Amino acid sequence: MKFFIDTANLAQIKEAHELGVLDGVTTNPSLMAKEGISGVENQHKHYVEICNLVQGDVSAEVIATDYEGMIREGKELVALHPNIVVKVPCIADGIRAIKYFSSNGIRTNCTLVFSTGQALLAAKAGATYVSPFVGRLDDVSENGVALVGEIVEMYRYYDYPTQVLAASIRHTRHIIQCVEVGADVATCPLSAIKGLLKHPLTDSGLAQFLADYKKVNG
């Protein structure tokens, strides 16, 4: 399973990269706004900085919601760096744009996916990644992880190459659940990635090893 970090924060991206387990980055307009990055020029500069920090795909989202606008923005985004993947919302013009991009060798991440039907359309249009939003489904009493599992099964059954990128991951347990249903990628906050490390028996075991070492070595 690949790990992406879901942030536009350079320090967090650097920390995850230095851990040695990072395969890519996803961003969205809210995450960019959280970092206070405004204006197309600054946004483009920021995407390039992210690409220079990590080896792996970096999803950059279009703001346009019409077909022509998405195509124009997507072409600008992929021209910034070879690792950019164009993130496109799962709406009718978005599916059309994904079809255009996939026919022209441009990789895409179909975002804001909340149903198997949406994921089917994204795969048929040739999306590289599809992003079901796990946490936001859980927020409205639906089962986000179950949707990830359904999409994985559908893609395997029909042999779609689209990778299932579990998004809106809120905590460590979500990551483990996505592993259990076979997600290709989980894009996570840094806290959830670091949470995978935590176990009290590791901490107490290490403390014991060091205490025993000290007894005979001073």
Examine residue 28 and tell whether it contacts ligand G3P (CB under 6 A): yes
Q: C-alpha angle with apex 71: 67 to 74, nearest 5 degrees? A: 135
In sequence order, the 6+-apart residues with CB closer than 8 A to the CB of 24 are 2, 3, 4, 5, 54, 56, 57, 58, 59, 83, 185, 187
* Closer residue to ligand G3P (CB): 168 or 177: 168
Stretch that binds ligand G3P, among 16-24, 90-98, 129-137, 141-149 (CB under 6 A): 129-137
- 215 in active site: no
Q: How far is the CB of 55 from ligand G3P (least distance, A)?
A: 20
* Closer residue to ligand G3P (CB): 26 or 162: 26
Stretch that binds ligand G3P, among 65-73, 128-136, 149-157, 210-218 (CB under 6 A): 128-136
Among 135, 150, 171, 181, binds ligand G3P (CB under 6 A): 135
Q: Please name which of 85, 82, 35 lies closest in space to residue 60, comparing C-alpha atoms.
A: 85
Q: Out of 14, 45, 75, 87, which one is annotated catalytic?
A: 87
Examine residue 81 and tell whether it contacts ligand G3P (CB under 6 A): no
Q: How far is the CB of 39 from ligand G3P (least distance, A)?
A: 21
In sequence order, the 6+-apart residues with CB closer than 8 A to the CB of 189 are 5, 6, 7, 169, 170
Q: Would you state the structure tokens that stand for residue 22, as one six-digit string? A: 């990072």
Are β-strands 84-89 and 57-61 bridged in parallel, bridged antiparallel, or unpaired? Answer: parallel
- Give the whole-angstrom CA distance, residue 146 versus residue 66: 31
Examine residue 26 and tell whether it contacts ligand G3P (CB under 6 A): yes
- Give the whole-angstrom CA distance, residue 159 versus residue 33: 37
- Give the whole-angstrom CA distance, residue 203 versus residue 218: 21
Q: Interaction with ligand G3P in 160-179: which residues (CB under 6 A)?
A: 167-168, 170
Q: Are 175 and 198 in contact (CB under 8 A)?
A: no
* Closer residue to ligand G3P (CB): 56 or 135: 135
Q: How far is the CB of 216 from ligand G3P (least distance, A)?
A: 49
Active site residues: 87
Binding stretches for ligand G3P (CB under 6 A): 6, 26, 28, 31, 133, 135-136, 167-168, 170, 187
